[in-house]
Amino acid sequence: MQLFKPVSSEPVSGVPDMFHLRNCFDPQQVFDLTQLVVDRSPFRHMQTPRGYTMAAAITNCGVVGWVSDRRGYRYEPIDPETGTAWPEMPPLLFSLAQMAAQRCGFDDFAPDACLINRYAPGKGMSAHQDRDENDFTQPIVSLSLGLPARFFVQGSDGKGRSTPIDLASGDVVVWGGASRLFYHGVRPLKPGIDPVTGSCRINLTFRKAG
């Protein structure tokens, strides 16, 4: 199965070391692989350390998965909902993430975690940094599935102008280096129906956590 379509990577203007790869995988194939994960570790709404419920529903695959609860944010080898290990990262998804990273100059990216977010219309994600990983020299590879979304990136302090990036189903963002710790988020989703996901957007972010 040829999952990664060879595409050119487009540097995101104004954001160093961030690349947008358009239309570089088949959404149906990635959705089917995601569904195998969700069958074993279902989507759930996690609590933030301050006691709010996160707008996006979350699950994970890989050696470790990202979790949030009253104790904080961290990576855990066990899914707290099922009490067993997170589902294995599908090898095809590992390869897809690795090839996308390579295409952008990050050789030998070996993700051990994949965080899967699902957004309903009206839901988004407020500005945050991804800083729970151990090695910030490693990039994050982000796959978008389903309804389109406006992603935004701000500077290292979360202030100032934000750069919008419109993400469609099948798009990948590769992000590392100088902007690895920049604040970013997702604007509330517009309603719609996608032929693969229905009325939602799914985002998969591959990370080297450990």
Q: Find where tokens 């379509």 sit.
A: 5
Least CB distance from residue 173 to ligand MD6, whole Å? 6
135-194 residues near ligand MD6, rule: CB under 6 A: 140, 142, 151, 173, 175, 184, 186
Q: Is 130 in the site for Fe ion (CB under 5 A)?
A: yes
Q: In degrees rounded to 5, what are phi and psi of residue 90?
A: -55, 130
98 forms part of the interface with ligand MD6 (CB under 6 A): no
Q: Which two tokens stand for residue 27?
A: 């959404």
Q: Minimum Å distance from CB 66 to ligand MD6?
A: 10
**What burial class does residue 184 get, using C-beta atoms within 10 Å of its C-beta: 0-12 exposed, 13-18 middle, 19+ buried?**
buried
Least Cα distance to 205 among 59, 26, 17 occurs for 59
Q: Which is nearer to ligand MD6, 18 or 33 (CB)?
A: 18
Burial status of residue 145 (CB atoms within 10 A of its CB: 0-12, 13-18, 19 or more):
buried
Phi, psi of 63 (to 5 degrees): -65, -40
For residue 117, state whether it binds ligand MD6 (rule: CB under 6 A). Answer: yes
Length of the chain: 210
Size of the site for Fe ion (CB under 5 A): 1
Report the residue number, 81 or 166, with the smaller CB distance to ligand MD6: 166
Task: List binders of ligand MD6 among 33-62 (CB under 6 A).
Answer: none
Interface residue list for ligand MD6 (CB under 6 A): 117, 125, 130, 140, 142, 151, 173, 175, 184, 186, 203, 205
Interface residue list for Fe ion (CB under 5 A): 130
